[in-house]
Amino acid sequence: MLPVRPSAGTVGRTRTCPHCKATILESAAVCPQCRHHLRFGVADVAQPDTDGFSALRVEGSIEHPDRGSNWEYSVVLTIRNERGVEIARQVVGVGALRPTESRTFTLSVDVQTPGGRRR
């Protein structure tokens, strides 16, 4: 069985990961949330998905100074279209930092190119 590439009519369609229940692209061979392989045929598992790349990757850290009270934080992700209109907003993590603690955050925008790599 050969891996099935989505046709132009299915680009951008989503489904639910059977493992973690995250909403993912229908074309995904591996869930980006839980990283489980999505098995639809022997060829899909044996052949890794190489038609994707990261269009953006940002990493940053926050460090609580060694003074003051605890800090609370929320990680908020906002997506806007080309006109600046907000189309999605999600809180993806919350937590607290005590003095001298730190957290590192990474944001990546992974792009899948059904039918071959096009940049």
Domain spans, the chain? 1-49, 53-119
Backbone torsion region of residue 58, taken as left when φ is above 0, otherwise alpha when ψ lies between -120 and 50, otherwise beta: beta
The C-alpha angle with vertex 20 and arms to 14 and 24, in degrees rounded to 5, equals: 15
- How many Å apart are CA 106 and CA 46, to the nearest integer? 29
Average pLDDT over all residues of the chain: 80
CA distance 19 to 7: 25
Q: What is the mean predicted confidence (pLDDT) over 5-17?
A: 71
* pLDDT at residue number 59: 96
- Report the run of H or E that residue 74 belongs to, with start and end: strand 71-80
Instruction: Let me know: does 104 contact 60? Beta carbons within 8 Å.
Output: yes
Q: How big is the chain by its Cα radius of gyration, in Å?
A: 19
Tokens 């940049």 correspond to 119
Within 13-119, where are the H helices? 42-46
Cα–Cα distance for residue pair 80/26, rounded to 1 Å: 22
pLDDT greater than 90 at residue 47: no
What would the pLDDT profile of 61-85 be if each residue is shown by its tens digit?
999 988 889 999 999 999 999 999 9
